[in-house]
Amino acid sequence: MLATVLFPAKVPAPVHDGFTTYDLHRDGELSRERHLPVLLLFSADYCGFCARLTEEFLQPMRISGEYDDKVLIREVKIDSHRSMRDFQNRTVSPENLAYRYNISVTPTVLLVDAHGRELTQRMVGLGTLEFYGLYLDDAIEQAQMRLRQETP
């Protein structure tokens, strides 16, 4: 008698598998190709507010699919010891990248273009949760408008 071996169905990767990036140069190229701003969250593993921002706002944004054609969402963990590529394709530590952007508080959200230039006023801290989503949507819309104005 032949034994039938059943293989479990392929389990899809979790939807919210993290936003951490180590290649902003590649993200910049994708931003340029798709004409989208890049939302950069500067966070740290020890930052509870960063985790809350990700869980309550960024993960739902990704899961909904409503932001796929609006913004690229990326996270830079400033306490990571892994090297990364900046928008100019240079090797940099996440801590030094945060220093270049003058980030002193986590979480800080920047909306940048394909070259890493800020498009809107940065969002520092978590602020009022009831309005944070509205502020985030407004900043994304402003960044999109600014990109359209700068793109011939």
H-only helix segments in the chain: 24-34, 48-53, 59-64, 94-100, 129-150
Amino acid at 51: A
Q: What angle do CA 28, 33, 37 make, to 5 degrees?
A: 55
pLDDT in tens, 34-82: 999 999 999 999 999 999 999 999 999 999 999 999 999 999 999 999 9
**What token pair was written down for 122?**
């940065």
- Which CATH class name applies to 24-146? alpha beta
Q: Report pLDDT for 129.
A: 87
User: Residue 77: beta bridge partners?
Assistant: 43
Tell me what pLDDT residue 8 has.
36
pLDDT in tens, 21-33: 899 999 999 999 9
Q: Among residues 115, 43, 117, which one has the least CA distance to residue 74? A: 43
Summarised one tens digit per residue, pLDDT across range 72-89 is 999 999 999 999 999 999
**Domain regions of the chain by residue span:** 24-146
- Prediction pTM value: 0.85
In sequence order, what are the residues at sequence separation of 6 or more whose Cβ sits closer than 8 angstroms to the Cβ of residue 122?
108, 109, 110
Tokens of 152: 């011939």
Query: CA–CA separation, 110 vs 120, rounded Å?
Result: 7
